[in-house]
Structure 1
């Protein structure tokens, strides 16, 4: 039976869904430009319109246990002494004030140690994403002219401090070629699969990221706001692939509950508050769930004091279980979707497909030898019209 993800939180319990008066556009725009993630309007006017739901409290033990069981990872923190975790915590203890860049530089070797030198994973820092995979629930330019309509801001293009994804060595040359083309999103709009599968601008070594780290000095809430966008974008990319790979199934059955459970995507992020006042460093590990690319949920799993050696060791162990899940589950999910996509765009010889049994009177008449068409209708025009009607919404780019 397909696993259906439990809801992270009800709409009433989230900050992004709380109703309040709408603020003047001048104040809203200025706050977004100066400090977008720290803005008090960010969740209401940016995350919520783009269908991103950020829970205001961490998951209960029961909720997280259900998710962890479904993902095949331990639900409880496991304390394992580790020299890298000890060195990391001690360095932060000695430096009460440290730049975000320095925090990132300290986190990278810690995350690398959790990968256990896996050749399947790649780690990149200070990466700007392509906008193609960014959730677009309320695109710019679709604002209502009504005076009572809310002001919606586009989701900023993510630029996480650290991004973890898969190495291109996990895919065959054919699979890499398959990931270079034009597909359509849930709104029927074209997007570039090459920029979705390899979201980092100017870099082709990392594919399909599943974990991001965002470091913010303003507040933990600002870091979680940034992670909500980064994590949802990573999930949305895979949801877009599922949309294209499941095209025939969607046409037959629609986007029902079963389809949403089949295309549900899980991911993770770490939000780090680098307190500029020197009052400590706190991080939350967050769970991201995207259901069919239609909605995105983000909720903290646990909080960790980064100056506390015990907490860092627990976080390191948790990251290790996430990387094991990514190699054994998420990578396999990507492979399955690519195989489905391949079946749509490349028909193998000697294999019967649904299209082999397809009949169309207009097409049969146009291709029949010696048949004449009605005046004003050319054979090429009829064939082109029929193919336009029956072709999938996305096309491959050679």
Structure 2
């Protein structure tokens, strides 16, 4: 925790530092990548850098952590779980935090100049190391829980099966080259996949485990991502590379499973809400619930562009049919010639008129605007914030507070 003197300085300067953090983080990344180009090439997501997502994510995390640190509110560590799981899936080590510290504080001085007095620098230094030490502690615990040495998360796997799930999505079943069973994962977790690209970069992305594989194997689904029409959003480097190059018999480098979006045990009903490729953790949940013979009520809600583009469409239907207490509602922007009917809807997702249990645990996965709308609707139906869990695409796409 901060000293009382530093807490007072941080509280007084939070509006200035917090207001400028969006200008500071791009300078930080520019300085760090100039000193360590291998980090941009081999560790950080170049797509998120190009879109500005990584910069916004870091800015938001620092501002949120500092605010919680000086306010009498929730434990500031509550904002770190998602970051810690992402870090461990990348094999981040404690000795990398001083690199971030060096270039972050140089960026603060570059942007704010004389406003950064020795007292201000010392106070915000405490903020950084409080946050870094908390992350290191959480991450070391995650490594230990996974049964691996810190940073030693990578393994070679072989693609055993490739299935075209929709025009732009393939699923890959992954097995150990020696036939040994891969480590078990909790429903909802993901693995990182590292690929060597033609320009020599080693880029890493995360993919949810769907639970559709044979025992001792893993399965992921990969959606190809074209470049955005605005020219700003780049094409999906890793996803498109896997689409073009990952076939039966090919090897991949993947991490140990991590991820904090896992099912809460209990008897409460479940509401699983997804859009597009956000269906993948829900498929993992449903495989687990079916195998466990659940008696919990399960309401599954999915939105997609069309039935043809709905990845895992038949599998989702079969899983719900196999769980006696489950029901499925779908929304498609384009139903084609199919008529709308009970539980099959045309247009965007709409929770009005649905019988949703107010004591349910709800899980959301999809684009941030979609989840913002759904969260607001769930809150309006009496499902409390602490029972709404979500997974987001990319580091900077948090859902808005209702």
TM-score by length of 2: 0.27
Select the structure of larger CA radius of gyration: 1
